[in-house]
Chain A
Amino acid sequence: MMADSGSNEAVAVIGNTDITSTESENNLINTMVERGSSLLIKLEISVSEAEKRTGKNTVNMQETYTVYLIETRPAESVPEGSTPAAPDTLWRRYSEFELLRTYLLVTYSYIIIPPLPEKRAEFVWHKLTADNLDPDFVERRRVGLENFLLRVASHPVLSNDKIFFLFLTEEKGWREAVLETGFQDKVDSRLKSLSASFRVKNPDKRFTALKQYSDELNTVITQLLRVRARVADRLYGVYKVHGNYGRVFSEWSAIEKEMGDGLQSAGHHMDTYAASIDDILEEEEHYADQLKEYLYYTEAVRSVCRKHELVQYELEMEALDLAHKKQQKEELATGTVRVFSLKGMTSKLFGHESPEQRESRLAALEQSIQEGEQTLKEKNTECQEFVRAAWEDIERFKEQKDNDLREALISYAIMQISMCKKGIQVWSNAKECFNKIQKEGHRIHGGAHSAEHLSTLETQPGFDTTHKNAPAHRRTRPPRST
């Protein structure tokens, strides 16, 4: 009963309170205003290289890791004739990218933080290795990391973050600068209250729907990636088995005269066909990476939803507390006990307290209620502001997602078309060779017939052999070098 009244009140309060921004929210609004002036306009960013390094880690163990070269260059228009300024470069490890992202995640909890590429290859099919140092994997990760930086740099809010700027420009002392922000303290408190999601009384329907959507998206992309890996596996098999034709045609051509050339070169085309799948599937991995990015995005979306639940929960708790205090005050003032409580028991057992005591307790309660109301107001504002800012980013994200995925589907379709074209090309070439098996213009029935007819007739006395003059139709093709 109390709980209900408390939460009802909280909802009512949300609707009534004016928006008064605290200092931190002021900052937030300022950054939002700067939307459009993203960092990318001023700076060109790329991850241009990856390099393998060996060194000692913190516990003095030998380890091999990969570092990525970040290049930045002022994006001013270069005057005619002069070469653009040499880019500033610095090396970062994957773990530093991780630190940057964690920092952003904690600091901008209302923003869907772009995900990092996978740390270890997931959804691999048999030909791909799960080796972190595999060159193809490192290359795909390089592209992924660059994509991450570009996403952050083009984000209206994140692009203005100082730590992010330092990440791009200051190789030394960056880690210390991140730690100085004290974001780690927030991580802990955030983790502790994750269970809040189960106890929120009045969840925002929009966020619930969003959370449900991100769960669905997560499930369906996971499934898609899994099946795609199997599809790739099978397709690889289909192509590679065709390679055997290459071998057998070549062997067969060795025992053939007229057919030999055609078979031999058809065999080469079958080899080409089998080999073509490597590039096709390598290219398709790019599509998989695009899907993976959105798979990992779902986690970022859920993180925002969780943060919202936490803010909502804190607000509700505050409202509940305030309602409780108000009730106490009422009891004290009227002397009635609505609900059985320990306090009621003590007053019954030990008699009524003195008026002075009651007065001071009332005053203390009054004070605490006032404080509570202030806090509630702040929480309310915080919550409202969170919802406003988060929803703005969510809208932005949705648009980005729809565009990106449509682009991804288009490029996937283009890949499929190119695969079909390659297939058509190879098989047309092969067909041309198969056509050479039987010489052009050579007639089996006519030609072969007459030739055989003659030889048969010659050996069978008594047959009319006037056909002898018939032209021999079996022409032999001049040998061609392959």
Chain B
Amino acid sequence: MSVGAPKGLASSGQKPIAEIIHPLSAADEPLSAAGVGGDKEAGLTNGTPVETSSPASASSLFNRLQLDDDLEADGRDHYALTETRDLFVTVDDPKKHVSTMETYITYRVSTKTTRIEFDLPEYCVRRRYQDFDWLRIKLEDSQPTHLIPPLPEKFVMKGVVDRFSEEFVETRMKALDKFLKRVADHPVLSFNPHLNAFLSAKDLNKRQGLALLTKVGESVKHVAGGYKLRARPAEFCAMGEYLDTFTQKLGTIDRIAQRILKEQSEYLTELREYGTVYTSWAGSEQELQRPLEGVAGCVTTCSGALEEQCETMSQDFLPVLREYVLYIESMKNVLRKRDQSQAEYEGRLEAAVLRKQEDRTPIPVEVEKCQDKVECFNADLKADWERWQSNKRQDFKQLLTGMADKNINQYEKSQAAWESLITLLQDKQTEDKTSETN
């Protein structure tokens, strides 16, 4: 007895994705990144009819392949595309499950792939937040030198946020989709067997690998208690500083965006009252009745357009900002682990050198291994950093142009309303004049 999906959720599952281009979900549109034939892209993604039974996944895969073909013809990025885009994942269709023990949401995770690591070219499983959490922990444990993308925040304040509300589920779904896409696009993480299991296993056996977790936990503890870092390479220092400043700026942007939303909602309240005053004025006029009603109508249209903008901003803009704060945290976490591994190496080296001076024993192999590990770590981190930077540019371009688009859209709607009002008012005037001359 687990299917009881509420009306709102079931029907809303796919619609917003098809209609609203969410910065999170839309970031993967290959062509917008390429900046080639932007119009065509819009036509393709919006114009392709989406089957209600299997939305997004199949058609978006088709789109991607199509677009990639276009690019091949373009002679650009040929190698990179054909070589790396062979795993596509989508998270959608949230469903609410109610049992006597608990109530939770599952999401559909659809996979299409040509990789030989997978037995089948397509998979479709249902996963809940816990499962995503499990995957992330697994990835972090087995790939300690890599940046693992963040999950949406696990804990929500009870009472403040309704965990089963349409907006909350929608936002979380988009964030989970983003998470999984980031993992699937990663040249190393995407080959992780845990991901494979997560995407393809009918039932996820979460117990396997529990031992690994404790082992890693110990090793981290061991290192953390140990040595102090001698000198962190300048480039990693710069990364740390960058992340600190960036977090700060994101915090500011978040506060500004919230403040604007607050101002706008207060403006909306006044604007609505403003409209009703025109309506009541229209009631006591004869000649001016229609013009005044027209103004009231315009004001209503404007408030509608603004309200829409506010809604998309709070649903699409703010969550992306917050996700980035988490992403930065993940990045900082990797930086910390790198420092630890360097510290471990330096500590061991120091000890070995001391021993060597005392009894002339050669530097043991473990120390060299340690050095290799640090170098490996550094290289992975640098690669992930570049990737992260690139992702960030792409995401913020999407996010900010999206913000601009929403504002433009709102102004365009208002402008159209006022223009039609002017036509109405001037028509009336010419009418009057002609009737006078007649």
Contact = CB atoms under 8 A, between A and B. Distances in A.
B281 A431 contact: no
Contact of B79 (A259, A413, A417, A450): A450
Nearest to B290: A406
A405 interface: yes
B414 A420 contact: yes
A402 B287 contact: yes
Interface string B61-98: 00000000001000011011101110000000000000
A445 B81 contact: yes
B355 interface: no
Contact of B284 (A213, A241, A417, A474): A213
Interface stretch (A72-80, A182-190, A224-232, A312-320): A224-232
B425 to A, nearest CB: 5
B267 A234 contact: yes
A220 B404 contact: no
B277 A223 contact: yes
Contacts of B391: 444, 448
Contact of A456 (B383, B405, B411): B383
A259 B79 CA distance: 26
B180 to A, nearest CB: 15
Interface in B256-307: 256, 259-260, 263-264, 266-267, 270-271, 273-274, 277-278, 280-281, 284, 287-288, 291-292, 294-295, 298, 302
B270 A458 contact: no
B393 A449 contact: no
Nearest to A431: B404
B238 to A, nearest CB: 10
A445 B188 CA distance: 14
B213 interface: no
A320 B35 CA distance: 92
A361 interface: no
A372 interface: no
Q: Chain B CB within 10 Å — which of A213, A406, A467 has the most?
A: A406
B405 to A, nearest CB: 7
B79 A443 contact: no
Given A231-B274, A446-B84, A424 B298 contact: no
Given A449-B187, A452-B187, A471-B79, A438 B249 contact: no
A441 B75 CA distance: 12
Interface stretch (B149-157, B218-226, B227-235, B395-403): B395-403
B131 interface: no
B171 interface: no
Interface residues of A, number: 73
B245 interface: yes
A419 to B, nearest CB: 8
A244 B252 contact: yes
Contacts of B168: none
Nearest to A217: B284
Interface string B10-50: 00000000000000000010100111100000000000000
A233 B294 CA distance: 24
B407 interface: yes
A95 interface: no
A430 B393 CA distance: 16
B386 to A, nearest CB: 6
A446 B256 contact: no
A238 B257 CA distance: 10
B354 interface: no
A235 interface: yes
Q: Chain B CB within 10 Å — which of A221, A224, A420 has the most?
A: A420
A431 B187 CA distance: 32
Nearest to A266: B400
A420 B397 contact: no
B160 to A, nearest CB: 24
Contacts of A41: none
A435 B397 contact: yes
A441 B79 contact: no
B35 A440 contact: yes
Interface of B: 28, 30, 33-36, 71, 76-77, 79-81, 83-85, 185, 187-188, 242, 245-246, 249, 252-253, 256, 259-260, 263-264, 266-267, 270-271, 273-274, 277-278, 280-281, 284, 287-288, 291-292, 294-295, 298, 302, 375-376, 379-380, 382-384, 386-387, 390-391, 393-394, 396-397, 400-401, 403-405, 407-408, 411-412, 414-415, 418-419, 421-422, 425-426, 428-429
6 contacts: A266-B400, A416-B414, A438-B33, A443-B81, A456-B188, A474-B390
Q: Which 9 A-B pairs have the closest CB atoms?
A: A446-B80, A459-B379, A234-B267, A420-B415, A431-B404, A446-B77, A434-B400, A450-B80, A423-B411
